[in-house]
């Protein structure tokens, strides 16, 4: 599936790729509606329907991923509420072995995430994967979400890479489409980002279930 000898740079998403997306799905579809309903004296289903409609309007934008934005919009302390559930943050299977194998070679390995820095910090308190990466890239700090071309141009400016020799692994297909438009040649998705939901069967990009399917070897000498 992957010709590792053709790849110099590996860009890895966090939520739904390296981390189980169950935390995020549970947080936004169950924990937040329950808390919002309690604080506003609303039936939980009514609160859930209203929140999902409101949140979906911002999908794919930087605001959609911004905990400060939603804290203000919902009058809730989103980081504090996330910290209440941080015990639910889990690595997906075979992630440590995969990251070990990547760092054993000569490839540059970057974490590229739309998660807000506050969310990243909370999750790394539970499962710190940052030592495996050469660089940590947070989209908020580049002023554009990964769904936008501006993100990829900014990434190139701050951390130069050859798109033709770059692999991006991400569970969000709109992100993969944006990367493809930018020219990134090697694209891969996850078939089951949330371990508690069914495996996806209609992905538009090649997909894997777990990382043991694509373990890299060392880069061969020319």
The rounded mean pLDDT for the chain is: 93
- For residue 152 the two structure tokens come to 């990829």
pTM of the model: 0.94
Beta bridge partners of 12: 111, 169
- For residue 30 the two structure tokens come to 């169950």
* pLDDT tens digit sequence for 134-182: 999 999 999 999 999 999 999 999 999 999 999 999 999 999 999 999 9
Contact assessment for residue 196 and residue 24, using Cβ atoms and an 8 Å cutoff = no
* pLDDT tens digit sequence for 101-128: 999 989 999 999 999 999 999 999 999 9
* pLDDT category of residue 60 using cuts at 50, 70 and 90: confident
- CA nearest to 95, candidates 193, 200, 198, 222: 193
Contact assessment for residue 114 and residue 146, using Cβ atoms and an 8 Å cutoff = yes
Task: Average the pLDDT over each of 41-50, 68-77, 136-145 and give the range with the smallest value.
Answer: 41-50
């Amino acid at each position: 599936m992957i010709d590792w000898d053709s790849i110099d740079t590996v860009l890895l998403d966090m939520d739904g790729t390296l981390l189980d997306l169950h935390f995020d799905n549970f947080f936004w579809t169950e924990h937040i509606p329950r808390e919002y309903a309690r604080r506003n004296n609303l039936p939980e289903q009514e609160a859930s329907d209203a929140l999902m409609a409101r949140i979906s309007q911002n999908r794919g934008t930087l605001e959609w991923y911004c905990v400060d934005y939603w804290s203000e919009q919902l009058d809730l302390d989103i980081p504090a509420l996330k910290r209440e559930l941080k015990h639910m943050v889990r690595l997906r299977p075979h992630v440590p072995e995969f990251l070990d194998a990547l760092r054993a070679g000569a490839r540059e390995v970057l974490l590229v995430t739309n998660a807000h820095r506050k969310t990243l910090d909370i999750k790394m308190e539970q499962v710190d994967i940052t030592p495996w990466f050469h660089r940590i890239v947070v989209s908020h700090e580049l002023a554009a979400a990964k769904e936008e071309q501006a993100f990829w141009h900014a990434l190139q400016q701050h951390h130069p890479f050859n798109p033709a020799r770059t692999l991006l692994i991400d569970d969000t297909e709109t992100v993969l489409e944006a990367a493809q438009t930018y020219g990134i040649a090697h694209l891969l998705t996850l078939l089951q980002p949330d371990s508690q939901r069914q495996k996806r069967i209609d992905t538009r990009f090649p997909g894997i279930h777990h990382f043991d399917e694509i373990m890299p070897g060392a880069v061969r000498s020319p």
